[in-house]
Amino acid sequence: MRTLKLHFPDDALPTLDTFVKKTKEARVFRRAQAVRDVVKGQRLQTVSDTLHFTYSALRKWVYRFAHQGVHGLVDRPRSGRPPKVTGALEKHLHRLVEQDPLEHGSLHSQWSCRELATVLARETGMQLGRESVRGVLKKRR
């Protein structure tokens, strides 16, 4: 294994400490903890064994931190289809749940996911399946 010869700025530890306290994502939190331990002087192999990172992954995060700062520890955007359910659509669905289904032409006094999807499609033009509706409502709890 080649040694990683990186120089960190003097404020690297305080910056990482602040970042660890403020971050809410568990993956980013673990990365910041591991990089902080390396900046403190622990060996890469020791930290990777202790925090259950692969050696190569930890090496990558330390390298990114050295070159990009704390922004290098955050996940990069991934490719793929954007989510179908937007924030506005979620809000509309939550408002719809609070209303009486009978007002929207339903034959039942309680909403079903299928009925919500139908009314949502009629009002917004966005076709969602009942499982997508269920997922949004489950996230709300």
> Which pLDDT tens digit goes with each residue over 2-11?
556 777 888 8
d(CA 134, CA 14): 43
Identify the three-state secondary structure at position 140.
helix
78-126, pLDDT tens digit by residue? 889 888 888 899 999 999 999 999 999 888 999 999 999 999 999 999 9
Predicted TM-score (pTM) of this structure: 0.58
Give the mean model confidence (pLDDT) for residues 31-57. 93
Q: What six digits make up the tokens of 140?
A: 């709300």
Half-sphere exposure of residue 98: CA atoms within 13 angstroms, side-chain side: 7
130-141, pLDDT tens digit by residue? 999 999 998 876
d(CA 55, CA 45): 6
Q: What six digits make up the tokens of 112?
A: 């079903």
